[in-house]
Amino acid sequence: MLKFFNSLFGRVVIALVAGIVIGALFPHFAQSLRPLGDGFLKLIKMVIGPIVFCVVVSGMAHAGDLKKVGRVGLKAVVYFEIMTTIALVIGAVLAYVTRPGVGMNIDIHSLDAGSLATYTEHAKSLKDTAGFLLKIIPDTAIDAFAKGDILQILVFSVLVGSALSLLGPRAKLVNSLIDELAQVFFRVMSFIIKLAPLGVLGAIAFTTGTYGVASLKQLGMLVIVFYASCIVFVAVVLGIVMRLAGFSIFKLIRYLREELSIVLGTASSDAVLPQIMRKLEWMGVKDSTVGLVIPTGYSFNLDGFSIYLTLAVIFIAQATNTPLSTHDLIVVVLVSLITSKGAHGIPGSAIVILAATLSAIPAIPVLGLVLILPVDWFVGIARALTNLIGNCVATVVVGVWENDIDKARARRVLNLDSEYRFVPTRTDLDDEAGPVNPAHAV
């Protein structure tokens, strides 16, 4: 029991429970705790860009063969598209089977269009493929980091990594500098992540105080169906994929329980990106594969978001009594395959991408998005959890596909072998992890 209370996972769980209690008993005070959650996420976002840059560039530079990097990237993208398509179909099928919006009989003219103004403005650049492609190219390299746009940072990082790889020995000093910078930013992240319990406390207390305890369990059929969809996707689809790769999805989830608990409280997978990458490396996946697949997956492999995309679109159609043809459904899936790639890093990303998707399907009223605004934060929890698990599975699969994973080590790590207990960083010997065994270091 003492071990549980001393662990990050234990402290986050305690903060989660405390936040719900505070929100239920002292709602006004709980609402004032919002800055704790917002501040924690801002601290995380502050270093995400530099970490992604350092990891991607270092991984590509040390990979040596650009053909291998391109092969890994291509396999990752193929896998992402297959999983995204499956997720979109699952969302659509469950929406039709459960029919969460049927019976609402919403008059579209009675909805407040003003609450959507901010989101539809962001959606304008995502209406078409050309707009999306232009969006991922930063105006300047500095601008990408200033805005914290992961996709733009990724484009710049791939170019720099490719250049360093081609320069070979002549870029040795630059490679060394980037490696050292990565260690610095990982250490900064290790400081920030210790504040996770405070961030979770603030976020969950604010939400409970604002919407009430009842809102945590009675968010309507849409939320219930979405959570069920995510569970089915993770347990069945990703479970089968992991089994084919030779591992257990449930053991992977247990291994990542601390990170998942942080996402549960903050509804953001950004908060654990660096830690997830280090854990996958520790598990035995080659660092160059982790460095390429995970950051790319944050923009291209949004399984939870994809499920929600089709589910929400059909829910709005059902709620507003809008008939959908087979053609409309096919358009929804095809358009979603493109628009979903622009989700990461956009304020209110789910609403923004939904607006961009609906703008391509005139039959469904975009104004219907007002219906799902009140529950967006709650479904965001399951979205973030599913996205994160999906990206970790993708990294393992690509690692197996490329023979870039030590399977024996991975099994021992997932079985929680005491000799292979995860150490947060290669140099960080804090009180939550034992000393690094050089024989087991990645």
Beta bridge partners of 405: 285
Quote the CA–CA distance of 33 and 42 in Å, as a whole number. 15
Structural tokens at position 246: 């030779």
Burial class (CB in 10 A: 0-12, 13-18, 19+), 354: buried
Quote the CA–CA distance of 268 and 44 in Å, as a whole number. 10
Beta bridge partners of 285: 405
H or E stretch at 307: helix 303-319
Quote the CA–CA distance of 79 and 74 in Å, as a whole number. 9
Quote the CA–CA distance of 199 and 18 in Å, as a whole number. 12
Tens of each residue's pLDDT in the chain, 442 residues: 666 677 776 787 788 788 888 988 888 898 888 888 778 767 877 877 887 788 778 767 765 556 666 777 788 888 988 998 999 899 889 888 888 877 767 666 555 455 444 444 445 555 555 665 677 788 888 888 887 776 688 788 888 888 887 888 888 899 889 888 888 887 887 788 788 788 878 877 886 787 665 544 434 678 888 999 999 999 999 999 999 999 999 999 999 988 898 888 777 777 788 889 889 999 999 888 888 888 778 777 888 888 988 888 888 888 888 887 777 777 777 777 765 665 554 445 566 667 666 766 667 776 777 667 656 767 888 888 999 999 999 999 999 998 889 999 999 999 987 777 776 554 443 434 333 332 233 3
Q: What is the 3-state secondary structure (H, E, C) of 207-239?
A: HHHHHCCHHHHCCCHHHHHHHHHHHHHHHHHHH
Q: How many helices (H) and strands (E) does the chain have?
A: 23, 0
- Residue 322 neighbours by CB distance under 10 Å: 18
Convert 388-408 to b/e letters by CB count within 10 Å (16 or more is b).
bbbbbbbbbbbbbbbebbbee
Closest CA to 182 of 426, 435, 439, 440: 426
Say which amino acid occupies 152.
Q
Q: Residue 410: its pLDDT value, please?
A: 93
Residues near 330 by Cβ (< 8 Å), separated by ≥ 6?
A: none
Quote the CA–CA distance of 276 and 271 in Å, as a whole number. 10
Angle (nearest 5°) at CA 354 between 43 and 86: 95
Are 195 and 265 in contact by the 8 Å Cβ rule? The answer is no
Structural tokens at position 249: 């999805």
Closest CA to 233 of 342, 297, 308, 337: 308
- Where in the chain are the domains? 2-417
- Residue 250 neighbours by CB distance under 10 Å: 13
Which listed CATH number (1.10.3720.10, 3.40.50.150, 3.30.1490.190, 1.10.3860.10) goes with 2-417?
A: 1.10.3860.10
Quote the CA–CA distance of 432 and 101 in Å, as a whole number. 47
Quote the CA–CA distance of 357 and 306 in Å, as a whole number. 12
Structural tokens at position 296: 């790319």
Quote the CA–CA distance of 21 and 380 in Å, as a whole number. 21
Residues near 350 by Cβ (< 8 Å), separated by ≥ 6?
A: 305, 308, 312, 343, 376, 379, 380, 383
Q: Residue 386: its pLDDT value, please?
A: 93
